Amino acid sequence: MIHEVFKLLSIIIIRGDKEMTMEKMIEKMLIGGEWQGTAKNIDVYNPETNQVIGSVPNASASDMEEAIKQMKAAKEKVGVLPVHRRIEILQKAADLVDDRIESFAKIIALEGSKTITEARDEAGRTTRILQMSAEEARRINGETISFDQVPGSENREGYYKYFPVGIIGAITAFNDPLNLVAHKAAPAIAAGNYVIVKPTSETPFSALHLAEVLLSAGLPKEMLSVVTGSGSELGDPLVNSPDIGMIVFTGGLGTGEQIANQGGVTKFQMELGSNSPVIVAENAKLENAVASSVGGAFAAAGQNCNGVQRIYIHEDVYEEYTQKFIEQTKQLKTGEKLSEETDIGPLISEDAAKRIESWVEEAKEAGAEVQCGGNRDGTYYTPTVLTNVPTDCKIVDEEAFGPVVSLFRVADFQEAIERANAVNYGLQAGVFTQDVDEAHEAIDKLVVGGVMINDSSDYRIDSMPFGGRKGSGIGREGIKYAVESMSEKKVVCFNLEKHL
């Protein structure tokens, strides 16, 4: 039976954004398999209108401690879910999400920054993540070990097998409110783990709705908790608990460093963002390079961890590429999120838009030129193209996480690689070239987790290992790789000497 709050949410969605003056919905969080509230709530705003669309419990540190305590007791009592049950649950959850694509898309669009088109893509991607996780659950296989490779071990034989880590603490960000939760919870369940999700307070409804789907699909209620509230309040008890076997986190570098410093020897998987580069060689097919990079720079209003932020263009094609890039950027339509015609929605908050505005102003004062965009209206910031930006500006050196891209002229391919590497991030890079030697040079020399040849840096599928170098994170996402990282190998060895 669907939890009653989602019936209220469906009413709001059906009526559309124009009906947001209705009474706000009061959400509940999931602890120990029970939906429960707190004395105080956190309001959730539609960033486009600044209207309250609902509220969620403002959990305390003691609430998180109770969630961990109950989950530890349940894990010891219930044990590990059989593989066939994990497969059934995840596949059924995928079917349920697929049946509710439009409902999920409206939730994503209302509470976050994405347009309705982008939100539908995210909901569809979540269906595939659940399906892939079901498939990977059946592939958790160990291997035999040849112990007789060592003299004196001729009578030994054995193998290793995988066991779940235990309890996974999952902390998610706002930019993919449904997909990021699925990317953590689904592989964790596939590996047989229990999961506590702490979604961002800016976009918590997608996480709660996905939890309802997983429970409806048959997941034992003890295996999942979703605790809402302030990260500063809930982060410490989650990260510091000795009962948490692994922390998986998507967010900023500063928070990631703080978690790593607190967590000690706990296992981590962290995706900490980037300011991804694209290289355009003199022989690149410019039409493809421009179209791919415009999409990679401005999708989700630039709030994309592997979105294009810096583009290094060979001087022989710089003028033509820049002209085409600006022309295509100007064609993008900024507007209402729920409109089918909108390409770019708002940023997640006015503070985020003001930060981008200040970074662009800093660059302008240092000599940068605004070729298009550069205007803020509330939470909206127009798609912006900068040139002649000094390399020490924040907009070049740090993660912008907004609809701003900087274009640079370079003398040769080697200079482009050196400048692409000259930041403390390394998630993915895009390289446009028709020269196979240049492609392999970029593959070998770029200090990143992925090199996309003749694609922008934001290309990704969920079956590939995804993660970064330097300040971009620790470990790899991607369903197969997440399942493996959320498992532990255990070696079994039989000494058969007495039986021979």
Whether 309 is covered by a domain: the verdict is yes
Q: How far apart are the C-alpha atoms of 18 and 106, rounded to whole Å?
A: 13
Whether 104 is covered by a domain: the verdict is yes
Q: Which residue among the candidates 212, 271, 399, 477 is catalytic per the annotation? A: 271
Q: 207-254, pLDDT tens digit by residue?
A: 999 999 999 999 999 999 999 999 999 999 999 999 999 999 999 999
Residues 266, 353: one domain? no
pLDDT exceeds 70 at position 6: no
Residues 392, 280: one domain? yes
Q: Which residue among the candidates 305, 393, 438, 484 is catalytic per the annotation? A: 305
Residues 187, 321: one domain? no
Residues 259, 321: one domain? no
Residues 90, 180: one domain? yes
How many domains, in total, are found in the chain? 2
Q: How far apart are the C-alpha atoms of 203 and 26, rounded to whole Å?
A: 14
Whether 351 is covered by a domain: the verdict is yes
Between 123 and 497, name the one with better pLDDT.
123
Residues 77, 122: one domain? yes
The pLDDT score that the predictor gives to residue 85 is 98
Q: How far apart are the C-alpha atoms of 21 and 44, rounded to whole Å?
A: 14
pLDDT exceeds 80 at position 7: no
Residues 263, 182: one domain? yes
Residues 315, 265: one domain? no
The pair of structure tokens assigned to 223 is 């295996």
The pLDDT score that the predictor gives to residue 20 is 36
Q: How far apart are the C-alpha atoms of 443 and 453, rounded to whole Å?
A: 9
Whether 469 is covered by a domain: the verdict is no
The pLDDT score that the predictor gives to residue 266 is 86
Question: pLDDT confidence of 327, banded at 50, 70, 90?
Answer: very high
**pLDDT, mean of residues 282-310:** 97
Residues 207, 324: one domain? no
Averaged pLDDT score across all residues of the chain: 93
The pLDDT score that the predictor gives to residue 54 is 94
The pLDDT score that the predictor gives to residue 460 is 95
Whether 470 is covered by a domain: the verdict is no
pLDDT exceeds 90 at position 11: no
Question: pLDDT confidence of 21, banded at 50, 70, 90?
Answer: very low
Between 262 and 252, name the one with better pLDDT.
252
pLDDT exceeds 80 at position 13: no
pTM for the predicted model, two decimal places: 0.92
Q: What is the CATH number of the domain that holds 452?
A: 3.40.309.10
**Is 393 designated active site?**
no
Question: pLDDT confidence of 153, banded at 50, 70, 90?
Answer: very high
pLDDT exceeds 60 at position 47: yes
Residues 75, 32: one domain? yes
C-alpha distance across the termini of the chain, in Å: 59
Tokens 């980037």 identify what position? 274
Whether 493 is covered by a domain: the verdict is no
> C-alpha angle 401/477/214, rounded to 5°?
100
SS (H, E, C) the chain: CCCHHHHHHHHHHHHCHHHCCCCCEECCEEECCEEECCCCEEEEEECCCCEEEEEEECCCHHHHHHHHHHHHHHHHHHCCCCHHHHHHHHHHHHHHHHHCHHHHHHHHHHHCCCCHHHHHHHHHHHHHHHHHHHHHHCCCCCEEECHHHCCCCCCEEEEEEEEECCEEEEECCCCCCCHHHHHHHHHHHHCCCEEEEECCCCCCHHHHHHHHHHHHCCCCHHHEEECCCCHHHHHHHHHHCCCCCEEEEECCHHHHHHHHHHHCCCEEEEECCCCEEEEECCCCCHHHHHHHHHHHHHHHHHCCCCCEEEEEEECCCHHHHHHHHHHHHHCCCECCCCCCCCCECCCCCHHHHHHHHHHHHHHHHCCCEEEECCCEECCEECCEEEECCCCCCHHHHCCCCCCEEEEEEECCHHHHHHHHCCCCEECEEEEECCCHHHHHHHHHHCCCCEEEECCCCCCCCCCCCECCEECCEECCECHHHHHHHCEEEEEEEEECHHHC
Residues 158, 12: one domain? yes
Task: Determine the structural domain holding residue 227 and report its residue range.
Answer: 4-272+476-487
Q: What is the CATH number of the domain that holds 263?
A: 3.40.605.10
Whether 97 is covered by a domain: the verdict is yes
Q: 443-477, pLDDT tens digit by residue?
A: 999 999 999 999 999 999 999 999 999 999 999 99
pLDDT exceeds 80 at position 25: no
Between 498 and 79, name the one with better pLDDT.
79
pLDDT exceeds 50 at position 115: yes
User: Which residues lie across from 386 on neighbouring strands?
Assistant: 370, 406
